[in-house]
Every structure is written in structure tokens, then in C-alpha cells.
Amino acid sequence: MPLGGGNKCGRCSKTVYFAEEVLCDKRSFHKSCFLCMVCGKNLDSTTVAVHMDEVYCKACYGKKHGPKGYGYGQGAGTLSMDKGESLGITHETPAPHCLTTNANPSKMAQKFGGSDKCPRCGKAVYAAEKVIGAGSSWHKIGCFTCATCGKSLESTTLADKDGEIYCKGCYGKNFGPKGFGYGLGAGALAHTQ
């Protein structure tokens, strides 16, 4: 402890006496000086964030020194449009996107450049949404459903006929055996004409 009664405040550089001392990052502050560098909010051990020799509240620290971009909002499910101009943050304008003219006709380029087409909607099926059934690639959401009732299918619950997919129940009703004794449930009788 230096002469004069106490440590020097990390904000105002005046003497900090024991009764008014707040310690943070091996430095002393007056309680009244322990404030966010940007917004001036009072800080405590649960709300402080230190960067270099500056103290911030967690919100201002995140805006000034945290990650930037889509998905880094202030809370659950929020999207902040604040780019931090009030904090002195400047952004560079990205260069315009230029299309490449790669005319590589190799098999590798064709394989990775193209994708399978969904037999239900005719659109491209990418790996993240792909499910394989009846020898084709389908969109897991929306397309991999029974052609009759629309029920979502899995590889263990589908039956196919002529390139179309069905749940086992609808397949049995439409394409299964007909006549006396071929019902849908245990002991059921189906009357067909």
C-alpha cells in the first residue's frame, strides 16, 4: 500500500480508502468510480467484464469486443441491428460478390456441383435434408410422406410402388390382397366388391 492511506483508483487515480474500495483485476476502484466505461452503469462482480485496463458491463463489452454478425443478439431469440457505431466501431463494406467462371468439366466437379432431385417436388436435395427411400433421395421434411394420407415416413415404415412411397397401412389398403379374411387388423373382416 503506498503512502497516503490507500491504493490509487483505476478510474480517477485518487486515493481509495478501505471503506470505499472495490477490487477488480488486481486494481482498486472507488465504489462510485466502478462504472461501465461506455454506459456508466454501476458494476459488481456479476456484471463486470474487463478488457485491457477498461471495465465494462457485460452488454457493452459484448457490443464492443464480442462476436459480430447474425445470431449474436442480446438474449434468447433476439436479433440486434445495433452495429456499435455509438461505441466507435466502424465497419468495412465488403467487396461485391463476383461469380466464378470455373468451367471444369471433370467428373469430380460434376459430382459435387450437382445434387439429386426429389421425386415428389423436383427440387434439389442436399445432404442436410436428404433421406433415401425407394431408391431415390427425398426431402426429409415435406416430401418423405405417404402419397395417400400424407403421414411422415421413416425407412422402416414405408412401402413403395412404381416410384411412389406409402405408409404400410395405405399400401395395404390400396395394393394388398383383397377379399374375405384380408382385413387391416387382428380379426377384422373387410367387405370388398
Higher pLDDT, 180 or 59: 59
Task: Determine the residue type at 10.
Answer: G
Task: Determine the residue type at 35.
Answer: L
Query: How many domains does the chain contain in total?
Result: 1
- Which band of pLDDT confidence, cut at 50, 70 and 90, is reported for residue 184? low
Phi, psi of 27 (to 5 degrees): -125, 155
Residue 80 located in a structural domain: no
Identify how many contiguous H helices and E strands the chain contains and give both numbers.
3, 12
CATH assignment of the domain containing 156: 2.10.110.10
Residue 170 located in a structural domain: yes
pLDDT of amino acid 106: 38
Does the pTM exceed 0.85?
A: no
Section 12-34 average pLDDT: 88
Residue 106 located in a structural domain: no
Per DSSP, 102 falls in state -
Does the pLDDT value for residue 189 go beyond 70? Answer: no
Higher pLDDT, 67 or 11: 11
**Domain span including residue 148:** 130-175
User: pLDDT tens, 32-83?
Assistant: 999 998 898 988 888 888 888 888 898 888 888 777 665 555 554 555 556 6
Query: Lowest-confidence range among 25-29, 68-72, 138-142, 160-164?
Result: 68-72
Residue 150 located in a structural domain: yes
Residue 62 located in a structural domain: no
Q: Within a 10 A sphere around the Cβ of 57, how many other Cβ atoms?
A: 21
Residue 135 located in a structural domain: yes
CA distance 189 to 174: 16
pLDDT of amino acid 154: 85
H/E stretch holding 59 reads helix 58-65
Residue 144 located in a structural domain: yes
User: pLDDT tens, 96-155?
Assistant: 655 544 444 434 434 445 678 898 888 888 888 888 888 888 888 889 999 989 888 887
Residue 143 located in a structural domain: yes
